[in-house]
Every structure is written in C-alpha cells, then in structure tokens.
Amino acid sequence: MTPVSSHAPHGQSSLRTVQVLGGGNAGSSAHVRSLASGLVARGVRVTVCAPVEADHRYDFRGTGADHVHVPRSSDPASVAALRAACAEADLVHAHGLHASFRTVLALSGRRTPLVVTWHDRAQAEGAARAHLVGLLERRVVKTASVVLGSTSTLVDRARRTGARDARLAAVAMPAPRRVVEPDDPDRLRPKVRAELGSTGRPLLIAVGSLERHRGYDVLLDAARAWLRLDPVPLVVIAGEGALRAALQRRIEDEGLPVRLIGRRDDVCELLAAADVALLTSSWESRSLLAQEALHARVPLVATDVGGIPELVGDAAELVPYGDAKALADTVVRLLADPERQELLRERGARQAATWPTEDETVAQVLSVYDELTQPQPMI
C-alpha cells in the first residue's frame, strides 16, 4: 500500500487512519474523540474501532469519523472484525494495552505502521496477572513503530520493555464532562451542596470507579478521623464499581460521613461546589479528576504516585499512597488554611495553562504519522 500524506493536494486521497479503542477509560475515550475531530478537520480520514457503547457515549461519528463496532475482546471474531476494518488503512493507532494487543494480532503479516498510545498502566493484581500483562506489553512494544506514553513513567516503562521508539505524548485535557456556563458556578454551588447534604459543612469530592486501585478503603479510614471535626466534612464519591457494596457496608457500620452517589455526568458542577478534591489511587497517569480540579480552581489532595507529580507540579498537596493519617491530617490543615487554599487555586490555574492544547496534541500525532507514512528521501 502506498502511503499518502494527510496534506495531499486537492483531488488525491487523504491519509487513511484507524483509531482502535478497547473498553476505554474516560480519559482515553475522550482523547480519541478529540483526536478524531482534529484529524478529520485537517483532512485525515478516520475510522474509530470501538465497542458500540463507547460510540454512544462519545459520539465518534459526530466528529466526521466512521465507527466500526469491535467488542472489547481478543476472540477470533473480534480480531477478524478489526483486521477487516484496518484493511485499507495507511496507519493504525491503538490506545491502551488491550486494544494494542488486539491490533497486533489483527495486523499480523501486514506492514501497516502501528502507533500505540499508553494512557495509563494496566492494573495487575497478583503474580499471574502481572506476568500476563508483562507478556502483552512486550509483544505490543516490540511490534509498534512508535509508542507514545502520556507520562514520563510510561515512556520509561515502554523503553525498558523493549520499545524501539518511545516518546512522551502531548495529551490535551478532554472537553469537560459537562459544560457549566460562566455565570453558573456561583448560582449552582449552594444548590448542589444542598442536594448532596453539605450545607454548612465542608464538601470533599472524589471521582472514579469503585475499584481497589482507587484507594477508597484508605479514604474511608481517613474519614473516620474527620468525625472529630466540627462541622464534620461530607465526603462524596462519584463512581460505580465492584466494591460498592463493601464500601457501603463500611460506611453504614462505622457511621462514616461518606456518600456514594454513583456514576455522574455533572462532575464539573460537583467540583464547582467542592471545597477540596481528593485523589487516593495507588497509581495514576494523567488523572482526569486532577486536571478538572485544577482547571476548576479547586484545591487538590492527591497521592504521590505515577504521573501525578509531573502533572500537577506544586499545585496540589501530595501524600503517600495508603497513608490514611497523612491524608486525614493534610485535609484538616488545608480546610483550616484559607490562604493555602487560595495559593493552590492560583497555582492550579497556572499549571493547567502549561498543559498541551488539543491543537498541539493533534499536531504532534500528525508529525508522527507523517514520519511513518512519507516516502523516505533517497540518499
């Protein structure tokens, strides 16, 4: 297949790309939508291969891209569907480990350039799972033409695993999960706080799936310490997952000031109403919550793990993962220090201004695509 530039003259075919997404977390799914929109606007033909549920939520076709339903599975039927979708592609770009592995299988025997973006580290609990993840990573990075990592930690991991070309990716913050009009926050803040039951008391917000790596068990331990405060802060956790029943039992048995409110599409409104945002995970790359909190000028207390320090700089309070006392004490000090809160708000706005824009992200990706698809000059 002869590569054709995304900047082909009028009348010629544009670059044909396929974006492959697995189940996709919120960050990677929103990134693919943003990327598809920017690429289509620049004349690139884009097909997004993803589960139909992802298209319903992120509307890839609304960007002008095509969508092909490919289940989040590595069974022969899914691989065959992906292989067919990639048949005419000049380049394929896969996002996440499992989507990348399926793409490696689908492209077997073809010379189509493959770009892989690692948005986050695959969670691996137990030795057997960790071994499997390691095998998948090695297979993917040794096949990929270029591996893009959303953090320096992921780039280093790709290089250690055997990547021939691993680079730091420009990854723009996705569009807000829900847009708040400029004059809305002050009006909505008391309404949201009243609905959540935090009128007259501090409101602490955490957002993310109710899974073990989120560290919500540690957050509940910290919440027990906050019972001695007057008024007692309310902790609100937005998200769903396998641990909901276990967390709810602890909340009820221990009388903790914590509410589980399920998955929400109004995260921007929740953050606008919050006094502090909490991120307690065992590992994160470019945390969507951290980005939204800094953009919303909400003080953030986060675990000092993965890509968080690189992402937030000095614009957040960082605590060790798993240390409930450090988390509890840091929040107590922050709630009692309005000047520190304001300093974090100002630093957060400055830090957010340093993050890549959507245009910069698309420009970097296009430059990689051109490297891999343009004929090399004769020496």
Cis (ω within 30 of 0) for the bond into 9? no
pLDDT in tens, 123-176: 666 778 788 888 999 999 999 999 999 999 999 999 999 999 999 999 998 765
Q: Which of 2-6, 218-222, 232-236 has the lowest mean pLDDT?
A: 2-6
pLDDT band at 85 (very low <50, low <70, confident <90, very high): very high
Q: Which of 112-126, 201-215, 253-267, 334-348 has the lowest mean pLDDT?
A: 112-126
Alpha-carbon distance of 94 to 174, in angstroms, equals 18
In the chain the domains, ranked by start, together with CATH numbers, are: 16-172+357-373 (3.40.50.2000), 184-353 (3.40.50.2000)
Q: Please state, rounded to an integer, the average pLDDT across all residues of the chain.
A: 91
